[in-house]
Amino acid sequence: MHFAEPLPLRSGAALRDYTLAYETYGTLNADKSNAVLVCHALNASHHVAGTYEGQAKSEGWWDNLVGPGKPLDTHRFFVIGVNNPGSCFGSTGPMNDNPDSDRLYGADFPVVTVEDWVDAQARLLDRLGITQLAAVLGGSLGGMQALSWSLRYPERLRHCIAVATAPNLSAQNIAFNEVARRAIITDPEFHGGHFYAHGVVPKRGLRVARMIGHITYLSDDSMEAKFGRNLKGAQPAYSTQDIEFEIESYLRYQGDKFSEYFDANTYLLITRALDYFDPARDHGGDLSAAFAGAQCKYQLVSFTTDWRFAPERSREIVKALLDNRFDVSYAEIDAPHGHDAFLLDDPRYHAVLKACFDNIAKEQP
Amino acid sequence: MHFAEPLPLRSGAALRDYTLAYETYGTLNADKSNAVLVCHALNASHHVAGTYEGQAKSEGWWDNLVGPGKPLDTHRFFVIGVNNPGSCFGSTGPMNDNPDSDRLYGADFPVVTVEDWVDAQARLLDRLGITQLAAVLGGSLGGMQALSWSLRYPERLRHCIAVATAPNLSAQNIAFNEVARRAIITDPEFHGGHFYAHGVVPKRGLRVARMIGHITYLSDDSMEAKFGRNLKGAQPAYSTQDIEFEIESYLRYQGDKFSEYFDANTYLLITRALDYFDPARDHGGDLSAAFAGAQCKYQLVSFTTDWRFAPERSREIVKALLDNRFDVSYAEIDAPHGHDAFLLDDPRYHAVLKACFDNIAKEQP
- pLDDT-based confidence at residue A187 (cuts at 50, 70, 90): very high
d(CA A131, CA B337): 50
Q: End-to-end CA distance of chain B, in Å?
A: 28
d(CA A333, CA A214): 21
Residue B102: the pLDDT is 92
- DSSP codes, B19-37: E--EEEES---TTS--EEE
Residue B217 to residues A286, B116, B207, B312, Cα–Cα distance (Å): 30, 25, 15, 17
Do the strands B72-73 and B66-67 form a parallel or antiparallel pair, or are they unpaired?
Answer: parallel
At B52, is the secondary structure helix, strand, or coil?
coil
What is the chain A residue with the closest CA to B217? Answer: A172
Residue B279: the pLDDT is 98
DSSP summary character for residue B196? G
At B339, is the secondary structure helix, strand, or coil?
helix
d(CA A293, CA B342): 47
Residue B92: the pLDDT is 98
> What interhelical angle do A171-185 and A203-217 show, nearest 10?
160
Residue A163: the pLDDT is 98
Among residues B256, B255, B261, which one has the least CA distance to residue B214? B255
Q: Which residues of A touch B188 (CB under 8 A)?
A: 188
Residue A329: the pLDDT is 98
Burial class (CB in 10 A: 0-12, 13-18, 19+), A49: buried
Residue B254: the pLDDT is 97
Whether residue B112 contacts residue B273, with contact meaning beta carbons closer than 8 Å, is answered with: yes
Q: Find all residues with CB under 8 Å of A197, minimum gap 6, and list them.
A: A103, A104, A106, A191
**Strand positions, DSSP E, chain B:** 2-3, 7-8, 14-15, 18-19, 22-25, 35-39, 66-67, 72-73, 78-82, 135-139, 159-163, 297-303, 328-333
Burial class (CB in 10 A: 0-12, 13-18, 19+), B198: exposed
Is A140 an active-site residue?
A: yes
Which residue among A45, A140, A148, A259 is the active-site one? A140
d(CA A163, CA A352): 11
Q: A221-273, pLDDT tens digit by residue?
A: 999 999 999 999 999 999 999 999 999 999 999 999 999 999 999 999 999 99
Whether residue B51 contacts residue B59, with contact meaning beta carbons closer than 8 Å, is answered with: yes
Q: What is the ipTM of this complex?
A: 0.95
Contact yes or no for A174 and B268 at CB 8 A: no
Residue A174: the pLDDT is 98
d(CA B254, CA B211): 7
Choose the mutation target among B15, B229, B265 for the interface with A, i.e. most A CBs under 10 Å: B229
Residue B309: the pLDDT is 98
Q: A321-332, pLDDT tens digit by residue?
A: 999 999 999 999
Q: Which of B229, B238, B278 sits opposite A229 (nearest CB)?
A: B278
d(CA B27, CA B44): 23
Residues A202-206 have a mean pLDDT of: 98
Torsion of CA B164, B168, B171, B174, to 10 degrees: 80
Contact yes or no for A204 and B193 at CB 8 A: no
Is B306 an active-site residue?
A: yes
Contact yes or no for B240 and A275 at CB 8 A: no
Q: A69-113, pLDDT tens digit by residue?
A: 999 999 999 999 999 999 999 999 999 999 999 999 999 999 999
Q: Which of A175, A183, A223 sits opposite B183 (nearest CB)?
A: A183
Neighbours of B284 (CB within 10 A): 8
Torsion of CA B160, B163, B167, B171, to 10 degrees: -160
Percent of chain A scoring above 70 in pLDDT? 100
Contact yes or no for A171 and B11 at CB 8 A: no
Residue B178: the pLDDT is 98
Contact yes or no for A248 and B175 at CB 8 A: yes
Angle (CA) B209 B201 A264, round 5°: 50
Q: B187-207, pLDDT tens digit by residue?
A: 999 999 999 999 999 999 999
- Taking the whole predicted model, whether its pTM rises above 0.95 is answered as yes
Low-confidence stretches of chain B (pLDDT beneath 50): none
Contact yes or no for A241 and B268 at CB 8 A: yes
Counting one residue from A and one from B, how many pairs have CB atoms under 8 Å apart?
A: 166
